[in-house]
Amino acid sequence: MMCGGCSSSKPATAEIQAIADKVKSQLEEKANKKYSVFKAVEYKSQLVAGTNYFIKVQVEDNNFVHIRVFESLPHENKPLTLHDYQADKTKEDELAYF
């Protein structure tokens, strides 16, 4: 993956689910909504001065949220941060940079 460019879309892994789980409370606070279902299904990553993760998360049967999570460089020792999100997405919606 080249620096600055997004990777291709990949199926979510246990590591990606763990990242999504760590920012779930931040999303619930920003969206003013509680999610009983929160399943990462797909993701892209972007290498910057750290890593941006774009994650498609299933929150209901056919309702998805796209989240952008920033992971700082290891030596900075900062928590994962939810930078932005897009609500009311479908399974078919492409995961794109936002």
Confidence band, pLDDT 50/70/90 cuts, at residue 28? very high
Confidence band, pLDDT 50/70/90 cuts, at residue 26? very high
Cα four-point dihedral sign 11, 14, 19, 23: positive
CATH number for the region 10-89 comes to 3.10.450.10
List all residues 6 or more positions away from 38 whose beta carbon is below 8 Å from its beta carbon. Answer: 20, 21, 24, 57, 58, 59
Residue 16 CA to residue 42 CA, distance in Å, equals: 9
Confidence band, pLDDT 50/70/90 cuts, at residue 1? very low
List all residues 6 or more positions away from 46 whose beta carbon is below 8 Å from its beta carbon. Answer: 4, 5, 6, 7, 52, 53, 54, 97
List all residues 6 or more positions away from 37 whose beta carbon is below 8 Å from its beta carbon. Answer: 58, 59, 60
- CA Rg value for the chain: 13
pLDDT of 2 higher than 70: no
| Domain residue extents for the chain | 10-89
Note the pLDDT tens digit of each residue in 30-87. Answer: 999 999 999 999 999 988 889 999 999 999 888 999 999 999 998 898 999 999 999 9
pLDDT of 96 higher than 50: yes
